[in-house]
Amino acid sequence: MKKHNYSAGPCILPQEVFEKGAQAVLDFNNSGLSILEISHRSKDFVAVMDEARALVLELLGLEGKGYQALFLQGGASLEFLMVPSNLMKVNGKAAYLDTGTWANNAIKEAKLFGHTDVVASSKEQNYNHIPTNYVIPADADYFHCTSNNTIFGTQMKSFPITNIPVVCDMSSDIFSRALDFSKFDLIYAGAQKNMGAAGATLVVVKEEILGKSGRIIPSILDYEKHIKAESMYNTPSVFAVYTCLLTLQWLKNHGGIAGIEKINEAKANLLYSEIDRNPLFKGTAAIEDRSTMNATFLLNDESHAPIFDAMWKEAGISGLPGHRSVGGYRASMYNALPLESVQVLVDVMKQLEKVVCE
């Protein structure tokens, strides 16, 4: 039976990425060697890294605008450290928007480096919305936000205008929607939620903001050193980077970000329309802040859960239970999830209504 993968991460990937990746595990570029065993310094893999980094900038519309793309390791969690290491000045401060668990974790790490001003938070409402009408201190070294919150199903639909560098954790919605990415000075994202296999972390940084902190930065945390080494300062996650390249190629061949955005909107509209229509369900996030990537919803009557759970499992749906912080259900609709899979879930929700209400 076909599986419909709603996992929040590691996530669904395009079938052709699985097929090409599987072939590379057996024999990469007809070399007689597996992608898992080739040297990261080999000509074949250097070409992979170069193409992946260039394709990132092309898809984001940042070519020739002073940005560098890096494939690093440690996930977004290491970036919580690397950002203040590189951008927070000695005796300086940073401004953070608290919109969820990962934003909160980033704040905790930043506080190790200096004064960290939380300009707004939705924590008291269990992160069910994106705060508005906050003020960003003009003397902060940078402003940090999280564009999409996988656990709570919220997404920033607009971003503040400020004269200080803007840093954004886009781990769960990178490459999913068209934005003016030049408005951001640093973007980071774990690959495993929308871009590739777990093990690689994408960083896109405007070079002119670096080298101004006045602090000594450990080499492995220094963006400038990684840029100079062309993402080869230490041994990269070879297979994870290759999977990212395959996924980026797939995205480009399917209309790029603008093309996938239309599909993502169609998927989100289909599911949210059913959540709002069906008397058995309710969404958990503020309507204006609903994520196109992660739809979170509850049953109005939990006694229906055993029936619903059996139905969606029977339909081949996987990864639907919500995070313990919210409960209920979470449908992660990343780029590679087809509209067909969303229709299957919607049909099951309608089927439950028929069983319960008739």
Fold agreement (15-253, 256-357): no
Position 1 scores a pLDDT of 72
Say how many C-beta atoms besides its own lie within 10 A of residue 15's C-beta.
Answer: 11
Low-confidence ranges of the chain (pLDDT < 70): none
Position 213 scores a pLDDT of 96
Q: How far apart are CA 100 and CA 152, in angstroms?
A: 7
Position 357 scores a pLDDT of 86
Position 58 scores a pLDDT of 98
pTM of the predicted structure, to 2 decimals: 0.96
Q: How far apart are CA 172 and CA 211, in angstroms?
A: 28
Q: Which amino acid is at 179?
A: L
Q: The domain 15-253: what is its CATH number?
A: 3.40.640.10
Q: How far apart are CA 284 and CA 328, in angstroms?
A: 9
Beta strand 166-169 with 186-190: parallel, antiparallel or unpaired?
parallel
Residue range 49-95, pLDDT digits in tens: 999 999 999 999 999 999 999 999 999 999 999 999 999 999 999 99
Contact 102/92 with Cβ under 8 angstroms? no
Active site residues: 102, 169, 193
Q: The domain 256-357: what is its CATH number?
A: 3.90.1150.10
Q: Determine whether 304 is exposed, middle or buried from the number of CB atoms within 10 Å of its CB (0-12, 13-18, 19+).
A: middle
Domain residue spans of the chain: 15-253, 256-357
